[in-house]
A = this chain, B = another copy of it.
Amino acid sequence: MTQKVTIHDVAQQAQVSVGSVSRALNNYPHVSEELRSRVMAAALELDYQPAFLANGLRRGQTNSVGFLVGTIANPVISTIFEAASEALSDHGYAVTLLSSRNQAQLDVACLRLLARRQVSGLIVSSAAESPEPARRYVGELGIPTVMLDREATSDELVYAVQSDHESSMRQALAHLISRGHREIAFIGGPEDFYPTRQRCLAYQAALLDADLPQRPELIRFTSFNERAAYAEALLLLQSGTQPSALIVAGNIILAGALMALQDLGLVVGRDIALVACDDINLTRLYRPPITAIRRDLKLLGVTAARLLLRGMQVELNEIERIIKLPTELVLRESTQYARALPHKAPAARKEGAIRTTLN
């Protein structure tokens, strides 16, 4: 009923052959103006829309890209996805989103599924604990792929967009150190998860630069799971060396850490300084507002989409295969007080307004 009108109907309506209809509608050269307009009129009248499947079968291509994530229920991922999806959509590509549920074996299964569906391109931002098999499989696939804030591979057709986690992390540590903190703890995701590793390396490098001791017991890795992060934070905060500052890498981990702090009766900004590694509603609106490392998520998504588009169309004239985008440290009250200073009253209202400003 809905999709009954085929190219044959249009051909009959316009009194031409199906081949001519196809040529006319696809803007081929050597089609007379008269025939073209006749076909256009017929197509318009019948509300003809070429069948996607037949088109794709013949052309060997689907005009759709697969997007693989560990979970979409994460404000950072979903914001990036939305931006990328809109950019791709503007170029006629539809996006099928697959979630690997943060499981490595599903990772590869999802990629297989997408390959079977003959997606024209892939964006991969999965967060499996052992990403290696998936990365290797992506290389074998021969499909243009953008690794999104993940480690690049040397395979042809595999591109990468990354955030510059290092520089802002070093800024964050410089900031904390300047405020007198020396026991600065770090809680990240899995140790081999790319952003976590980058942040952790920068954290260690910054300590080294400041001639501060590396304390292994202050570095904790956990999985992307609020309960696990909560437990790890609790362990850290109840261990012998009580840190005076805490850096949490990732918003799920932030949630767990905040719960641990609250359960221990530690007040953020007074008893302990807190830096978060992504700027989300929670960091802006929390009382006190939480210092965070911000990146332009929409830019990240759009850049991934553009890189993929370039990779999918053949006109790729000497394009960068790996792009690294800047990040920014946003100072807020959670790191405002210097160490060992007594708790002061919150800042005046006006200042508060500025700090919690939109964006």
Residues in A lying within 8 Å of B, measured CB to CB? 1-3, 49-54, 56-57, 62, 64, 71-75, 78-79, 81-82, 85-86, 89, 94-99, 101, 112-118, 140-143, 226-227, 230, 255, 258-259, 262-263, 265, 281-282, 285-287, 349, 352-353, 356, 358
- For the complex of A and B, the 9 pairs showing the least CB-CB separation, nearest first, are A53-B57, A96-B96, A73-B79, A78-B78, A2-B142, A53-B56, A263-B353, A52-B117, A97-B97
Known: A62-B53, A263-B353. A285 touches B78 (CB 8 A): no
Interface residue from B101, B115, B287, B356 paired with A3 (Cβ < 8 Å): B115
Known: A2-B141, A53-B118, A265-B349. A95 touches B97 (CB 8 A): yes
Interface residue from B57, B82, B89, B352 paired with A263 (Cβ < 8 Å): B352
Nearest neighbor of A99 in chain B, beta-carbon distance: B82
Nearest neighbor of A261 in chain B, beta-carbon distance: B285
Cβ–Cβ < 8 Å partners of A94 in chain B = 96, 98, 113-114, 117
Known: A94-B96, A118-B52, A349-B263. A101 touches B86 (CB 8 A): yes
Interface residue from B81, B86, B142 paired with A1 (Cβ < 8 Å): B142
Interface residue from B2, B54, B79 paired with A143 (Cβ < 8 Å): B2
Q: How far is the CB of A140 from chain B (nearest CB, A)?
A: 8
Nearest neighbor of A264 in chain B, beta-carbon distance: B349
Interface residue from B3, B64, B75, B116 paired with A96 (Cβ < 8 Å): B64
- Contact between B282 and A285 (Cβ–Cβ < 8 Å)? yes
Nearest neighbor of A62 in chain B, beta-carbon distance: B53
Nearest neighbor of A59 in chain B, beta-carbon distance: B53
Copies of the chain in the assembly: 2
Cβ–Cβ < 8 Å partners of A113 in chain B = 94
- Contact between B62 and A72 (Cβ–Cβ < 8 Å)? no
Known: A73-B79, A99-B86, A117-B94. A259 touches B287 (CB 8 A): no
- Contact between A72 and B64 (Cβ–Cβ < 8 Å)? no
Complex CA gap A49/B72 in Å reads: 28
Complex CA gap A102/B349 in Å reads: 33
Interface residue from B116, B262, B356 paired with A52 (Cβ < 8 Å): B116
Q: How far is the CB of A3 from chain B (nearest CB, A)?
A: 7
Nearest neighbor of A263 in chain B, beta-carbon distance: B353
Known: A54-B57, A96-B94, A255-B285. A82 touches B86 (CB 8 A): no
Complex CA gap A53/B56 in Å reads: 7
Complex CA gap A117/B64 in Å reads: 10
Nearest neighbor of A110 in chain B, beta-carbon distance: B89
Q: A52-B117, A95-B97, A286-B287 are in contact. List 12 more A-B contacts (CB 8 A).
A: A2-B140, A2-B142, A53-B56, A71-B82, A72-B72, A73-B78, A75-B75, A85-B98, A226-B358, A255-B285, A258-B285, A265-B349
Cβ–Cβ < 8 Å partners of A358 in chain B = 226-227, 230, 259
Complex CA gap A86/B97 in Å reads: 11
Q: How far is the CB of A49 from chain B (nearest CB, A)?
A: 5
Q: How far is the CB of A175 from chain B (nearest CB, A)?
A: 23
28 residue pairs of the A-B complex, CB under 8 angstroms, read A2-B115, A2-B140, A2-B142, A3-B116, A3-B118, A51-B118, A52-B116, A52-B118, A53-B57, A53-B62, A54-B57, A71-B82, A72-B78, A72-B81, A73-B78, A73-B79, A85-B99, A86-B101, A94-B98, A96-B96, A227-B358, A255-B281, A255-B285, A262-B285, A262-B352, A265-B349, A282-B285, A287-B287
